[in-house]
Amino acid sequence: MLPHKVAIVLFPQVQLMDVAGPADVFHLANELAAKPLYQLIALSSQGGLQTSSCELAMHTQPIEQFNAKDMGTVIIAGSGKQGVRHAINDPSIRNWVLAAHAAHARLASVCSGAFALAAWGLLDGRQATTHWSATHLLRRHFDRVQVEPEALYVQDQGIWTSGGVTTGIDMCLAIVEADHGRALAMRVAKQLVLSARRVGNQSQYSARLAAQSGRYAELIAWIEGHLRQALDIPRLAYRASETQRSFCRHFASETGYTPAVFVELMRVQRAKELLESGVPVKKAARAVGFTSDEQMARAFKRRLDMTAAEYQRSLLG
């Protein structure tokens, strides 16, 4: 089987970590699988040495020497403003990436690389993210992009975008997982000594955001303060002075979560915080309102794809 070609496209003033993180993930995947799963290719407009924003330079190949149609994955690394602008207006890079996309290559960006994809129209109608400090800019300049400011990384119809710097690692782990399964991705994460593997959609944050304003702000605040008690739909609807049917409908459209899912996310989030401060699993489970540690284990599996004990252990390194 031929290795899957992964092209990383560098611009002037590239962020070193945007390149190094993904590169090491794919390289370690090869090592740990003991098979050449991925072939890494660093590309730039002219080839040669590319100086990163921190002055360390990387060797690259001229992009036009490679056939875009051969690429399995193309990663656009982030860089400073001038670098991105330069890339956006460089027709050789643009056409090459578009050709790769037309040939069904998987596209991905790290950090400000999303601006290049957006400028070329590739993110129209798609969910995407970029560095947290630039999400509002992305939204302002490209109103057809569904910007997800809370996500570490997002995948929508074959195009992946990730937030800043180290999230490129999280994204590439998810790519490895999609290609070769969870076991290999976990081994790579472990090899990289990543404490806790982070999932792409930080839904806990979204849940918390939803709590800050809007029609159910008060109810949500109350939920947060009363996680230990039973929070089923009849009770919540009663507190909201609505019928169950209307409450469910309104709550879901307001927060994006059904009531039960929302409560579970809150409990998992709070449990994580307790586990982080060293509280034992059983105690944490009771403290946040899970009726048993068994129930918490199931919730952790659902939301984080790991057990509470695994989560706690992952923090200790």
Partner DNA sequence: ACCAAAAGCCGCCAAC
Partner DNA sequence: AAGTTGGCGGCTTTTG
Q: Which residues bind DNA (CB under 7 A)?
A: 232-234, 242-246, 248-250, 252, 258-261, 264, 291-292, 294-295, 298-299, 302
Q: Residue 181 class from Cβ within 10 Å (0-12 exposed, 13-18 middle, 19+ buried)?
A: exposed
Q: Cβ 285 to DNA, closest distance in Å? A: 11
Q: Cβ 311 to DNA, closest distance in Å? A: 17
> Which C-beta is closer to DNA: that of 96 or that of 251?
251
Q: Cβ 236 to DNA, closest distance in Å? A: 8
> Which C-beta is closer to DNA: that of 121 or that of 234?
234
> Which C-beta is closer to DNA: that of 190 or that of 245?
245
> Which C-beta is closer to DNA: that of 89 or that of 243?
243
Q: Cβ 225 to DNA, closest distance in Å? A: 19
* 165 close to 110: Cβ distance less than 8 angstroms: yes
Going 210 to 216 to 218 to 223, the CA torsion angle's sign is negative
Instruction: List the one residue out of 36, 86, 126, 67 whose CA is nearest residue 76.
Output: 86
Q: Cβ 171 to DNA, closest distance in Å? A: 26
Residue 233 CB-half CA count within 13 A: 14
Helix (H) / strand (E) element for 44: namely strand 38-44
199: left (phi over 0), alpha (psi -120 to 50) or beta: beta
> Which C-beta is closer to DNA: that of 93 or that of 274?
274
